[in-house]
Amino acid sequence: MLEKEKVTVLAIESSCDETAAAVVSEGREVLSNVISSQIDIHKLYGGVVPEIASRKHIEKINQVIEAALIESGKTLEEIDAVCVTYGPGLVGALLVGVGTAKALSYAAHKPLVGVHHIEGHISANYIANPDLEPPFLCLVASGGHSHLVLVKDYGDYAILGRTRDDAAGEAFDKVARAIGLGYPGGPKIDKLSREGNPEAIVFPKASIDGAPYDFSFSGVKSAVLNYINGCKMKQQPYSQADIAASFQKAVVDVLVEHTMLAAKDYKIHQIAIAGGVACNSNLRAGMEKACEKRGYSFYMPTPVLCTDNAAMIGAAGYYEYIKGVRHGLDLNAVPGLKLGE
């Protein structure tokens, strides 16, 4: 009998400050994953400058796609579909990926599949864990989002909780700036925390009445700023490392507690994490420990698949493609795209 041909997709991601392309087979096998990061440019400004991001995507996108195809050993003709992030994200940045994907789809006569960025982050877990199947609960924590998502089936999601204000990664970035660590703050706070005492300062852990799975990180961020200002006014020295470790503990504890509460209430015993903040060593360890204690299975992508990349878009795009999802050449960037739309 002839072996079934594998479905292989080319995926493109340009929603924020990484220009990325990947070739993925059967949703889980990464043949190439090329990422061109703009972090070195944006850190000069203390955060992502949207206009610069768009321009850099235009400069890089063709090279990145070409590199992804060469590295995968596939030609465009051998690809079954072109998948692209069409939201949420920065509109100018998204448009570069969407425009390029449409041109490739038209020129090579390949179906076009638009992918939700968060669905991509969640799907990074399929790559890292070949045995993972829905249903599972996924905490998505990145620079732009903090969502607790019930993955009912492939492409079928219920958002159980979300942030009311700042995303977790945004809080890491803002606190890092306040203590003079620079952008992006998450990895810097993570590293510095190892030298600090997480019990040194008690920062607030916000809960929202009537919405037990929602998050709020603006309070802890303000508390850090107030603490620093208080020390400066009293001319007291403060420890950057203690602030970093105590802030990180406040954020990680809430992320773990809310996820465990939702897992118990919804009786879901497979837990995953995703998004840039899922690189955080304390969150990875804290979640693993909490799951182990309760007998839950815990899944996490490798760090390179947590931050923005196109392999995750290829994984999500594959499941959309086999469900029959196809987009027309009128596909547009949707900066505020909601999950499930």
The residues with which 23 forms a beta bridge, in sequence order, are 10, 32
Q: Which residue has the tokens 């019930």?
A: 150
Phi–psi pair at 326, nearest 5 degrees: -140, 140
Residue 280's binding partner, choosing from ligand KG4, Zn ion, none, with beta-carbon cut-off 5 to 8 A by kind? ligand KG4
Other Cβ atoms closer than 10 A to 111: 16
Considering the complex, state which of residue 206 and residue 322 has its C-beta at the smaller distance from ligand KG4. Answer: 206
Residue 173 binding target from Zn ion, ligand KG4, none, CB below 5 to 8 Å by type = ligand KG4
Q: Which two tokens stand for residue 24?
A: 């993925």
CB under 6 A: which stretch of 63-71, 100-108, 185-193, 321-329 binds ligand KG4? 185-193
**Cβ 234 to ligand KG4, closest distance in Å?**
30
Q: Which is nearer to Zn ion, 123 or 248 (CB)?
A: 123
- Beta carbon nearer to ligand KG4, 134 or 184: 184
What does 307 interact with, of ligand KG4, Zn ion, none (CB < 5 to 8 A by kind)? ligand KG4
What is the DSSP annotation of 90-145? Answer: -HHHHHHHHHHHHHHHHHHT--EEEEEHHHHHHHHHHHH-TT--SSEEEEEE-SS-
Stretch that binds ligand KG4, among 56-64, 108-116, 262-270, 277-285 (CB under 6 A): 277-285
Q: Which is nearer to Zn ion, 105 or 142 (CB)?
A: 142
Least distance to Zn ion from the beta carbon of 22, Å? 14
Closest CB to ligand KG4 among 196 and 276? 276
Among 114, 187, 314, 317, interactor with ligand KG4 by CB under 6 A: 187
DSSP characters over 195-258: TS-TTSS------BTTBTT-B--HHHHHHHHHHHHHHHHTT----HHHHHHHHHHHHHHHHHHH
Contacts of 268 (CB under 8 A, 6+ apart): 135, 136, 137, 150, 262
Position 286 contacts ligand KG4 (CB under 6 A) = no
Is there binding between residue 144 and ligand KG4 (CB under 6 A)?
yes
